[in-house]
Structure 1
C-alpha cells in the first residue's frame, strides 16, 4: 500500500504539477491577450468618441446654392479656402467692430492639388479684384441677378446672411477660373487663432518694427510696439494680428498683405509636416479647426477632414507653390491681367506645374499615342504679327488656349476676351486693309477657319465651336508653363520666411 501510495504521489508530482503549470501559463497568456484586446477596445472607443466630438463641431453649408458648375476633372482636385472678417459668433473679441457684422471674404485662395499627390499650387485672389458675380441663391430661396465688374469679396456677403454665402463665393471662383471646386472651407478669426495655438505657434518674420497704428490706421498715435523686426513665433491673437497687418508695411496695400499671408500659410504647413502628419498628431489641430470651420458636405465629418489632410502628406514643401492671380491696379481696385490669368487657369486644368511639369501622370502617355496636331503646324511663323483673340463660344478658357497656340508660333497676342456673339460654329479671322497675308498665316493655326476682310485695321480671331471641339487643339495648346512673370513671383513653402514680405 505504501508503495502504491508512493507511486501515486510520484504521479501527482511528475504528472499533475506540470499540468497545473501549463494552466497557469495559459492563464497568464489569456490574461495578456484579454488585456490587450480590452485596451484596444478602449482606445478604439476613445478614438470613436473623439471623432464623434469632432463631428459635432463641424458646420456645413448647403450646396443647393452652387450652380453652373464646370465639369468634373481627373486632373487633380481644387479646394477653395475662405478666410472671413466676420465679427459674428464672438469674432469681434479678436478684431473689434460690430458684433453683428457678417463680414466679407477677407482672404481667399484656391488650392490645386495635382493628381500625382506630390505637387500643389495655391492661387490668392485679391479681395478688391473686379470680377463678374453670377446668380447666387438668397436665404429666402430666390436668386440674385448676375453682377458685372464687382469687387470679389462682395460675393460672400450676398444675401446678408449671418453665416455668409460661401456658395456664392464658390460660384464666382468657378466662373472666374473655369475650374471645378471640389471642396470649400471657411475659417473665421476664432478658428484661425485656435489652429495656430494647436500647432504650438508658427514662425513668421517682419521686415520692420510694427506698432498699434499699423494694425489700426484710425488711431491718433503710433501706440505700443506689437511686433519687433525679424523672425519670431506667433500664435492666437498675435498670429491673427500678423496676417491682418496692412497699412504699416510697403505701400500698405492688400497685395502686400497677401504676400505675408502666403508666407504664413507656408510656415504653417512646414510646422504641421515637421510635427508628423498622422491621425494622432492631426487630432489636436482638427479639434481646434472644427470648432470654427464651415465646410461643404464633402468634408463634413472628422474622418473626411483628416483623410483629406492625410492625402497631402507626400507633397514636398518645395513643390508647394503660392502665387497671386495676375493683377494690375485700376484706380483703387484690382483688375485681372489677360491673358496671363487664363494661362494660369489653363495650366492648372491641364495639371501642369507653374514651371511646366506634367504632374498628372497621363499627359505624356497621351502625347506618345497622338499624331502631330493639325492645329499647330511647325512651319508657321507669326513673328511681327499682332492678333486679338475672342471666344465666340460658351466654353471657358478657349481664348487663353488659342492665345497660347498663337504665341508658340511667334504671334503677338494683344488681348483676349469674350465675343459679343457666343454661338459661332466656325472660327472666323477678320483682317484689315493690307493684312490678308498675315491673316492667312494665322489661319494655319486654326484649320478650317474662315478668313474675312473688314474695313477696320487689325487682325481678330473669333473662335467657334469647331475649335472648341477639336481635341488636337486642346492637346497642342496645353500650356507648358504659366507666364514667367507669374511663375517667377511664386513662393515655395520652404522659402526663407523673411523673404518677399511686402509690395511697393
Structure 2
C-alpha cells in the first residue's frame, strides 16, 4: 500500500477544455469486486493508495447512529480525477498537471443496506470551500462562491486534494462522509475492459475533440468508455448537466453488467486488480480486507433499489446555483435516512412531519410540517384498497412530451406503496393515458386506473402492467403522496380531487431523479 505525497504540480493548462470522465463509477465497483475474499490480499494491497488523514477537517457532522431497524447508513463520496499525470494523458489528451474532479457522486447507502441513492453534484456548482490543508502544512482560508470542482485543486497536489473535496461536501450537505474514493482515466478504462464492456446509448453521432462515437445502443470499453462519459461538446445537449445524466446511466449499466456476470473469480480478480491500481481511498478503506468487509455490507443492493438524483440546480450565468429549499430538503431526507419520498427503508413507515429544510447543513427556511413541497405523511393506508395488488410489476413510459414525468410518476407510485416499478423509454406522443395489462392482472390494472381518471384500459400480451402516460397525465396530474390513498372498496376517495394531484416531492428533486433501472436511452439530456 502506498501513500499519496503532497508534492506541488503546475496549474491546470488554460487550453484544457474537454470535460472529464466518470471515475466514480469505477470506484463504486471496486468495492463490489473486493468482496470476493482476501486470498489475493497481498496483490491488491500493493495497488491501493490512500490520502493523508491530516487533511480531513476536525470539525465535522456527527457520525450516523444505528437505525431503529438495525444497521447504520453509510455515505460514500465517489470522485473522478481528470489528471493527465502517470500516463492518463494517453486516454484524455491535454497537458499533464494537477487534476480537477469534474465528476462527484455522493452515494448514500441506507441503514438496511438494501437501498441507495447517488447524488450527482455539478462541477460548476457555486459553493463554500472551507479551510483545507496545503503542502506547507498551513490551512487555506475559507472561500465562498467557488466552483465545486476547484476544491480538488486546492494546494495543487499532484494527486489532487480529495480531503478538501470531502470537507467541502460535508459543509454543503451536513452529512458525514464515511469513505472517499478517487479513480483516474486509467482505472476507469481498465474496469470497463475487465467486465467485457458496458452497454450505453449514444444520443447522436460524435466526431469532435478527437472523440468518435456512433449514435445508438452499443457496448463500449477502454478508450471509448472514457470518451462516452467525459465528452461534453458535440454530444447530447453539450452541457455538463446532460453529461452527468449519461454518467448516471453508465454507472447503472456498469453495475448491471457486473451483477449479471456473477461474482466468479475470473471476473473479480481482473476487475479488482485493474481498478485498485488507479484508486486512491481514505485511510478507512486502505487495505484489501477493509475493502472486502465494506463490499460485503453492500452486496444485497439490487439495481432496482438504487436511484440517482442531481443536486437541485439552476444556471447562474455560466455557473450553477443550488436551488433552495429543495436542496435543503434533499440533504435532510438523507440525514434522516429517508428515501426521496420520505419513507424509512425496511419499515414501510412514512414521516410524521415534513423534513426540515432549515436543519444544520441546509440553507432553506422551511419548518417541520409546514413546507408545502416537502414529502409528508399520507392521511390513510394504501391497504384500504388491496395491498396484494401493489406488488404487480409496473413499467412506466412517458408519452406526454413532459421531461422527467416518468421518473416523477415512479417516485409518486412508490409513495403509494407500489414496489416493482421500471422506467421505460419515452414513446410516441399520445393525448390520453393508456394502462395495458396481462389478463390475469385486470384487478390490479383497475386499481391503478383509479389514480388516472379517464385512462384507457386495454388487455394485452404484456408482463404485469404497462402504464403509458399521456398528455392528460402531465403535472399536476401525477399521483400525490399528500392526497388520501386509493379508493376503498366502496369507491370513496375521501377529500381532495383525483384530477388535480400536485406532487409533494419538490420539483428540484423529482425533476432531477433517475432510477438506476431506467432505459439506457431515456433521459440523457436535461433540455
Q: Quick check: TM above 0.5?
A: yes
Indicate whether 1:312 and 2:298 are aligned. yes
Q: Which runs of 5+ in 1 are unaligned?
A: 1-46, 217-224, 377-388, 411-479
1:51 aligns with 2:27: no
Q: Deviations over 1:279-313 (max 9, x none)?
A: 77433211111000000111111122233223222
TM-score by length of 2: 0.63
User: Are 1:183 and 1:295, in contact at CA under 8 Å, matched by a contact in 2?
Assistant: yes
CA distance, structure 2, for counterparts of residue 362 and residue 174 of structure 1: 29
Equivalent positions of 1:165-244 (< 5 A) are 165-211=161-207, 213=208, 215=209, 226-244=212-230
Out of 65, 85, 89, the position equivalent to 2:82 is: 85
Q: CA RMSD in A?
A: 2.7
SS, match of residue 500 in structure 1: coil
2:111, 2:264 → 1: CA distance? 21
What corresponds to 2:93 in structure 1?
Answer: 96
Kept after mapping to 1: 8 A contact 2:206/2:213: yes
Other-structure match for 2:280:
294
Q: Write the distance in 2 (CA, Å) between the matches of 1:302 and 1:390.
A: 39
Taking the TM superposition and a 5 Å limit, the aligned residue runs for 1:47-446 are 50-67=40-57, 68-74=59-65, 75-99=72-96, 101-211=97-207, 213=208, 215=209, 226-277=212-263, 281-359=267-345, 361=347, 396-397=360-361, 400=364, 402-407=366-371
Aligned residue for 2:225, secondary structure, equals helix
- Partner residue of 2:520 out of 494, 497, 503: 497
Contact 1:132–1:147 (8 Å) recurs in 2: yes
Assess if the C-alpha contact under 8 Å between 1:186 and 1:293 holds in 2: yes
Q: Distance in 1 between matches of 2:293 and 2:254?
A: 19
Query: Are the equivalent residues in 1 in contact too, given 2:41–2:288 (CA < 8 A)?
Result: yes
Shift of 1:242: 0.4
In 1, distance between residues paired with 2:77 and 2:55?
16
Q: 1:83-102, CA deviations, whole angstroms, 9 ceiling, x for partnerless residues?
A: 01111111111111112x11
Give the Cα separation in 1 of the matches to 2:147 and 2:372. Answer: 34
Equivalent residue, structure 1, for 2:506: 483
The 2-side partners of 1:345 and 1:280 are apart by 40
CA distance in 2, matches of 1:132, 1:70: 16
1:3-34 C-alpha deviation (Å, 9 max, x unpaired): xxxxxxxxxxxxxxxxxxxxxxxxxxxxxxxx
Separation of aligned partners in 2, 1:399 and 1:330: 18
The 1:142–1:363 alpha-carbon spacing in structure 2 relative to 1, beyond 3 Å, is: farther
Q: For 1:176 and 1:312, how far apart are their aligned partners in 2?
A: 25
- In structure 2, distance between residues paired with 1:258 and 1:390: 25
